[in-house]
Amino acid sequence: MNGKSALTQAQRHHHVDSVTMSGVICSWWENEEQPVPVKTEPSADSGAIAPSSASSVGDGSKLSPVYSMDVQSEALWGLTGMESGNINLVTIRHEEGKCHHVLRNHTAPVSVLQITPQETGVISGSWDKSVLEWDLNTGSVVRSYGGHSSQISSTSFRPIYKTTCSNNDGDTDTDKSTTDKDTSTTSNTDQPSSSSSQVFEEKDDNIFLTTSFDGQCFIWDRREPESAVRKLGLPDKTPPWCLSACWSADGSKVYMGRRNGQVDEWDYAAQKLIRSFRMPANSGPVSCVASMPNGKHIICASNDNVRLWNTELESSFNIYPEGAERPAKTSNTIPFTILPGHHGGCISHILIDPTCRYMITTSGNRGWDGVSTNACLFYDIASIV
């Protein structure tokens, strides 16, 4: 991604003028289905090893689309979701693509994979409507999260983003940049990090959300039983559809993309709909949302464009539920900026670097309308002071 290779004229034809450079592929491997190991047992006649009744299922040469993927923080290993419902654990930095273990439990394609913040487990979601928690040390399922009535579309752990800290007496909050003298008696491990990249990267290991195609969003706490799940329902006049949801930078809100071209903003603590952001007419469904580390902007991807939305700006694009308190004044300023690059297709994923220096977006339409929308674009993020 840091190379200097330029796109050819034919390649640039499908993109905006600002897209001029191309990435360089470093390595690749085929995503193969792994056969079930054959159990052997001694033969009663000669003592030789003979195959048991549990014979091999599947063909190792069968290739599978990559339905989902997640990579360890140092890119030592990764997980890929298979069409059969299996999850392959492969090495990446060394012996690229070599499968070392297969997690078998799902009965349909694995659409969601999210490694836990401690990187000792993984949360998986599938088209079989199940959400499973795996222990990567043993390769076994440690918990199942039920309740969804449709295939799982996304999952995300709640971020921990502390911009303030209390003094020794705990009376007032002070900005973390001014606490060097006031908290001199506090150990360094108890203070929030002064590096914004480290703070933004920190996640809550216990709380995460899952969404499904029928529009449901469940918030789980791994310390509580399944009956204690928090459910964010469908607002009035909202079609049952949700492909993506994300947390705000401080973990206090949840943003959900909808089929009707809106992004719903929910209060995590009160489990209440705050407002909705309405995309311009004919924008299409919102297929992916992501929050920026500044706690002010979110990325909204719909069929026509990718937008950088200012959530602090009150405008006519904001829709409030009935009975909710509305602002006294609204601005005529457009609350979003269009990020050039994509032009149609479904934005399947948005990745924002923890240091907030670049953003990666992927899109495609499975070849239904050609391959011009099949692209992975890299954006430089420039801070504005």
Give the model confidence (pLDDT) of 221-254 as tens digits. Answer: 999 887 778 999 888 888 888 999 999 999 999 9
The CATH number of whichever domain residue 141 belongs to comes to 2.40.10.480
What's the maximum distance between 2 C-alpha atoms anywhere in the chain? 89
Please classify residue 53 by burial: count the beta carbons closer than 10 Å to its beta carbon, then call 0-12 exposed, 13-18 middle and 19+ buried.
Answer: exposed
Q: Assess if residue 76 is contained within a domain.
A: yes
Are 230 and 336 in a shared domain? Answer: yes
Q: Are 229 and 219 in contact (CB under 8 A)?
A: yes
Q: Of the spans 27-31, 38-42, 205-209, which averages the highest pLDDT? A: 205-209
Q: Are residues 253 and 305 in the same domain?
A: yes
Do 151 and 134 share a structural domain?
no
Q: Say yes or no: 93 and 156 in one domain.
A: no
Please state, for a pLDDT cut of 70, what percent of the chain lies above it.
Answer: 81
Whether 319 and 263 map to the same domain: the answer is yes
* Residues 157 and 237 occupy one common structural domain: yes
Q: Is the pTM of this model over 0.75?
A: yes
CB 147, CB 159: distance < 8 Å = no
Contacts of 280 (CB under 8 A, 6+ apart): none
Q: Residue 259 sits in a domain of what CATH number?
A: 2.130.10.10
Same domain, 243 and 118: no
Q: How much is the average pLDDT of 70-93?
A: 94
pLDDT in tens, 349-364: 999 987 888 999 998 8
Specify the pLDDT at position 47. Answer: 54
Question: In this structure, are 255 and 319 located in the same domain?
Answer: yes
Q: Are residues 211 and 315 in the same domain?
A: yes
Domains in the chain, number: 2
Weakest-pLDDT range from 109-123, 169-183, 210-224, 281-295 = 169-183
DSSP secondary structure, 228-276, as one string: G-EEE-PPTT--S--S-EEE-TTSSEEEEE-TTSEEEEEETTTTEEEEE
- Residue, of 38 and 29, whose pLDDT is higher: 29
* Pairing of the two strands 253-257 and 262-267: antiparallel
Residue 284 pairs with which residues in a beta bridge?
Answer: none
Please choose, from the candidates 301, 382, 313, 294, the residue with its C-alpha nearest in 3D space to the C-alpha of residue 349: 301
State which residues form the domain around 92.
63-145
At 9, phi and psi to the nearest 5? -60, -35
Q: Please identify which residue in the block is written with the tokens 């990567």.
A: 136
Q: Give the model's pLDDT for residue 276.
A: 94
Give domain status of residue 150, yes or no. yes
Q: What's the pLDDT at 369?
A: 67
Q: Is residue 128 part of a domain?
A: yes
- Please check whether residues 82 and 138 belong to one and the same domain: yes
- Please, what is the average pLDDT of the chain? 82
Are 207 and 136 part of one and the same domain?
no
Same domain, 128 and 274: no
Q: What is the mean pLDDT of residues 125-139?
A: 95
- Do the domain assignments include residue 2? no
Contact 289, 255 (CB under 8 A): yes
Residue 9 is given by DSSP the state H
Q: Is residue 172 part of a domain?
A: no
Q: Is the pLDDT of residue 203 over 60?
A: yes
